[in-house]
Structure 1
Amino acid sequence: MDFFSDNHMWRDLLLQAILILVTIFMFLFMYNVPQKYFSKLRFRNRADMQSKRHFVQGAQLLSQAKSAAVKDRSNAISLAKSAEAQADLAIALDPKDAAAHILKALALDLQGFKTSALDSIDVALSPLAVKSLSEPERADALFKRAQLRLAASRREQIDSVIGDLTQSVRLKGDNVKAFCLLGDCYEKKGLKEEAQKAYQEAQKVQPNFAPAREALDRLNSES
């Protein structure tokens, strides 16, 4: 008798649970909650596609600007400004995409705005956006930030530059220019042994790389 009573009780509880779920789903559909969710999802996907399109257009304009820089500086500046505008549109749609911030930094750098370019690449490497970068991409961004810090006359931040370059070569160990810049920074700090190691690493990657060979010859002659 108790067995049948327990079965009856569980059946009642199950029916009540089903009725509650049905009521919840009716409420959701009544207020268009699923439609709102899918509309939001569609909007996010559409915004992402638009952001990528602006990024691609900006990258193409930047490539044209770099090609024109040698022969026609004014045209290169105009193209770089257009690339910056496309980067801004991409950022407005997806501010967490580090690639768009890097594109803006490169466009600003080509226009000669080193400090503004540095600000943009700082955003790309911030917790907000850096997760969108692969390790090689992050290495390239760190190398570029080190270059911008030096170009923006922020040599007092030499320790920060060394930090960026150390991370860069750890993430991507085939950038001879990063190793050489790291060696140069160590020299500026009077760290001759560390500088030699950096130049030697550059030679391991590219044995005939002239700047690394010349730097090592100079350091050895000073011994």
Structure 2
Amino acid sequence: MAPEIVVQLAILTLALAMFIAIQKLPREALTKLRTKHRATLQTNRHFVHGSHLLARARSTNHRTQSQAHAKSALIEAEKALSLSPKDPAPQLLKALALDLMGHKVSALKSLDLALSPPRVRSLSESERGDALVKRAELKLAMNRRRRVDSAVDDLVEAVKLSGMNDKATAFCLLGECYEWKGMRQEAREAFQEALRVEPGSVAARQGFDRSGP
């Protein structure tokens, strides 16, 4: 075969390969986008359904029903996580459901995952603040003596967030932590901040009165 023909065939083969690649890449990218979008929609459906179930679990006084709803909420959270394992929102839902079911160690692990990088960057300030306060509550409930310093760190970070929802609760918990540590002045200031945010808070008023003049 003449060298000129070999060169022409090589050029033709390369051009054909480039054409196929150019035609194939957009379809692959579109397929990937569609798959991701579908997964996101399914994740959101499971998360919303789970959130409704958790709300029902919290609103009923019947323990058996509450536990059943919490378990169903946990299942929805797990389904959402199977589709979007890096999404922190289902981890938060899972933590709250586990806590309601009495599984505090597992709930704390889920909160740690939700608040770990890079997941935490996907949370709004209010979501992050709520998660930090909940984690502090769990730490104090599980082992106050060993975890009080870590709980203080979470609470101090939470109250600094401008989008924090329930700062009164955060400041009250912080005041209790300072009381436990024997830091009377710091406790009084924390309870005072809680009263400033929510003047009608009974817990903040009682804490402030305990801290003395």
Structure 1, gaps ≥5 residues long: 1-18
Residue by residue, what CA displacement relative to the aligned partner does 1:16-71 show, whole Å, maximum 9, x if unpaired?
Answer: xxx9xx767504146x2221111111000100110000000100111111112x1x
Moved over 4 A (4+): 22-25
1:144: how far off?
Answer: 0.5
Report the counterpart of residue 8 of structure 2 in structure 1.
none
The residue type paired with residue 28 of structure 1 is A
Find the partner of 1:65 among 57, 69, 80: 57
Q: Does 1:50 align with 2:42?
A: yes
Query: Does the CA-based 8 Å contact 2:95-2:108 persist in structure 1?
Result: yes
Is the alpha carbon distance of 1:103 and 1:185 closer, same or farther for their aligned partners in structure 2, counting shifts above 3 Å? same
The SS at the match of 1:153 is: helix
Task: Please tell me whether Structure 1 or Structure 2 has the larger radius of gyration of its CA atoms.
Answer: 1
Q: Does 1:182 align with 2:170?
A: no
Report the counterpart of residue 143 of structure 1 in structure 2.
133
Report the counterpart of residue 192 of structure 2 in structure 1.
200
Report the counterpart of residue 216 of structure 1 in structure 2.
208
Aligned mates of 1:173, 1:47 — CA distance in 2: 30
Report the counterpart of residue 6 of structure 2 in structure 1.
none
RMSD across aligned positions (CA)? 1.9
Structure 2, gaps ≥5 residues long: 1-11
Equivalent residues in 2 for 1:30-179 (5 A)?
Answer: 32-68=24-60, 70=61, 72-171=62-161, 172=164, 175-179=167-171
Aligned mates of 1:200, 1:103 — CA distance in 2: 32
Report the counterpart of residue 15 of structure 1 in structure 2.
none
The SS at the match of 1:127 is: coil
The SS at the match of 1:207 is: coil
The residue type paired with residue 90 of structure 2 is A
Query: Does the CA-based 8 Å contact 1:55-1:90 persist in structure 2?
Result: yes
Identity of aligned residues (%): 48
Is the alpha carbon distance of 1:168 and 1:201 closer, same or farther for their aligned partners in structure 2, counting shifts above 3 Å? same
Query: Does the CA-based 8 Å contact 2:129-2:165 persist in structure 1?
Result: no
Query: Does the CA-based 8 Å contact 1:28-1:34 persist in structure 2?
Result: no
Aligned mates of 1:193, 1:143 — CA distance in 2: 22
